[in-house]
Structure 1
Amino acid sequence: MSEVVRNYYENNAEYEWERLNNPYSKVEFLSTIRLFEKYLPVTGHVCDVGSGPGRYSTWLLKQGYKVTLFEISQKELDIAASRILELGLQAEAYICDNATNMHVLSDETYDAVLVMGPLYHILDDCDRSKIIRDTSRILKKGGVAIFAYINSWGALKAGVTEFSEEFRDLNHLNKYLGELKLDENQGFTECYFSTPVKALEEITQGGFEIVSYAGTESFLAGMRPEITRLYKEDRIVYDHLLQVASESSELPQYRDATEHLHIVARKK
């Protein structure tokens, strides 16, 4: 992961804490928490690789897990440490480093590992494979990992309402049917967009068996403007939609066409 990515998160540290509070991204947060509740071990030590400002680490600490935060941005880690301290909680460790440098983490240490961010930005196939193999290495046998990808199929759907002007170029539109590797001038920073087929193959080749996968926006994918409107105008409908969407994020009719793809895998 490059300095371009590090600088982006250093400059947007507070935004990353608030992002999961916005009306549309809230479904991503709730769907992810449901995956934690369903698939993570009841107790144990979790390594949150790409922890950002600690939104998920904080939730895990509240549930009694021991948590190590591993993050490329020191500012993000500082926000996480401050929030965790305010809540009277304590993380096991805060490590500021690139996800491609996970060699600093010991073998077979963690009961679960979250990799929910780094793979969004790794353009090199070998580097992504290294992160996945290192995740397997630091997990205990039978441990669970959750890997997050940006899904190009879901981004295509979202683009209709969020950045349709890009689709004046038919060739660019067609690129969303496969992998996309964008530099900082093409994406919000350096970005890697995968497809469910490719992402599942990468995880399997990294020494994992697939347990399940989810599209975290579920049937609400690509509906940011409408969901934001409902949040403001009809909170009952909004709350009901969030509940059902988060509960149905693993259903095959939804999960392949959402912006965020979460893969639950177990170390063989």
Structure 2
Amino acid sequence: MNNKQLISRDIELFYNKASEETRLEKGMGIFEFERIKALIEKYIAVSPSKIIDVGGGTGKYSEWLAKKGHTVHLVEPVSKHIKIARSRANKLKNKFSVHLGESRKLPFPNNYADLVILHGPLYHLQNREDRYLTICEAKRVLKSGGIILGFAINYTASTLVGLLNGLIHKKSFFEMCKEELTTGKHNPPDDYPWLLAEAFYHRPEQLKDEFINQGLTHLDTYAVEGMVWLDKNFFTNISDHKKRKTLLALIQLTEKDSYLLSFSPHMMIAVQEK
């Protein structure tokens, strides 16, 4: 990746082919969107807040936060997403700003934000040094007492999916899983072009260490989907009022259980600058 490229060509190609705009409108994405909004709301201490949404895609979370009256700045490295986000922002009374950029060099002054959300950088940066720079930048722009929310993919994510759908028995898929489980590095095989591009999948304790090693105070680590997605009839049951209540109760009961975090495809860490 040269200095002029904000992200690797493989990641940009993946998002140019995929539809990040519609991902949160179907399947597990619907549940993920609602769940992440609920987790973010736990950490909005003042209103209005200054919020930086790093790797915020096409701006769906930025739009939601702006509609709540917050001052929101979206930073995103994919040009395709920037165009959609700007169109989305321009339709709002309380517009959010949109910046083509990336997590290792944020266009904001020191001690600026009440909340920094790291949506994609932690898993799209395979090298630890790049994640280190990302966390340092988030800390730099954060006010004293401010919060960073970082989203990560669990190192078990592909393996669990592979066990459920039988792909674990395909040699190339299993080799990919072995690399994720041992090194955290996700490199999709050529015969699975629909899988996420190159990424890093964290162990829960590793995610925590990357933040506290930068002098940040760990508040909590949450399971995003938790275990409920393992329900074999998840999509039917999450639409049923009574069964949905049971699934949500299970998430609330287990969302911070460190022994169960690895059952959740995604995690969210909350840390504070004190």
CA distance in 1 between counterparts of 2:83 and 2:236 reads 34
| Residue 7 of structure 2 is aligned to residue 4 of structure 1 | no
Q: Structure 2: give runs of 5+ residues left out of the alignment.
A: 1-6
AA at the equivalent of 2:240? R
Q: How far off its partner does 1:241 sit?
A: 4.8
Q: Are the structure 2 counterparts of residues 249 and 10 from structure 1 closer, same or farther at C-alpha, using a change threshold of 3 Å?
A: farther
Q: Tell whether the 8 Å contact from 1:218 to 1:249 is kept in structure 2 after alignment.
A: yes
Q: How far off its partner does 1:255 sit?
A: 2.8
Q: 2:119 aligns with which of 116, 119, 128?
A: 116
Report the equivalent of 1:183.
Answer: 187
| Deviations 1:82-124, CA, capped at 9 Å, x for gaps | 2233343311x2110122232x322111111000111111011
AA at the equivalent of 1:80? A
Alignment of 1:1-268 (within 5 A): 1-12=7-18, 15-43=19-47, 44-91=49-96, 93-102=97-106, 104-162=107-165, 164-165=167-168, 168=171, 173-183=177-187, 185=189, 187-223=195-231, 226-230=233-237, 235-237=240-242, 239-241=244-246, 243-244=248-249, 247-248=252-253, 250-252=255-257, 254-268=260-274
Q: How far off its partner does 1:175 sit?
A: 3.9
SS of the residue 2:14 aligns to:
helix
AA at the equivalent of 2:255? E
AA at the equivalent of 1:78? K
Q: How far off its partner does 1:185 sit?
A: 4.0
Identical-pair percentage: 24
AA at the equivalent of 1:111? D
Report the equivalent of 2:3.
Answer: none
Higher helix share goes to which structure? Answer: 1
AA at the equivalent of 2:234? I
| Deviations 1:46-102, CA, capped at 9 Å, x for gaps | 0000010111111111111100000011221221222233343311x2110122232
SS of the residue 1:100 aligns to:
coil
Q: Tell whether the 8 Å contact from 2:176 to 2:188 is kept in structure 1 after alignment.
A: no
Q: Structure 1: give runs of 5+ residues left out of the alignment.
A: none
Report the equivalent of 2:4.
Answer: none
Q: How far off its partner does 1:168 sit?
A: 4.5
More divergent stretch after superposition (49-58 vs 245-254) = 245-254
CA distance in 2 between counterparts of 1:66 and 1:77 reads 18
Q: Tell whether the 8 Å contact from 1:218 to 1:248 is kept in structure 2 after alignment.
A: no
CA distance in 2 between counterparts of 1:111 and 1:159 reads 39
SS of the residue 2:272 aligns to:
strand
Q: Tell whether the 8 Å contact from 1:147 to 1:262 is kept in structure 2 after alignment.
A: yes
CA distance in 2 between counterparts of 1:8 and 1:33 reads 25
Q: How far off its partner does 1:29 sit?
A: 2.0
Q: What's the C-alpha RMSD, in Å, of the aligned pairs?
A: 2.5
Q: Tell whether the 8 Å contact from 2:109 to 2:141 is kept in structure 1 after alignment.
A: yes
AA at the equivalent of 2:233? E
Q: Are the structure 2 counterparts of residues 201 and 228 from structure 1 closer, same or farther at C-alpha, using a change threshold of 3 Å?
A: same
Q: Are the structure 2 counterparts of residues 67 and 130 from structure 1 closer, same or farther at C-alpha, using a change threshold of 3 Å?
A: same
SS of the residue 2:117 aligns to:
strand
Count of aligned pairs between the two proteins: 261
More divergent stretch after superposition (162-171 vs 48-57) = 162-171
CA distance in 2 between counterparts of 1:257 and 1:81 reads 36
How does the TM-score come out when normalised to structure 1?
Answer: 0.86
Q: Are the structure 2 counterparts of residues 10 and 108 from structure 1 closer, same or farther at C-alpha, using a change threshold of 3 Å?
A: farther
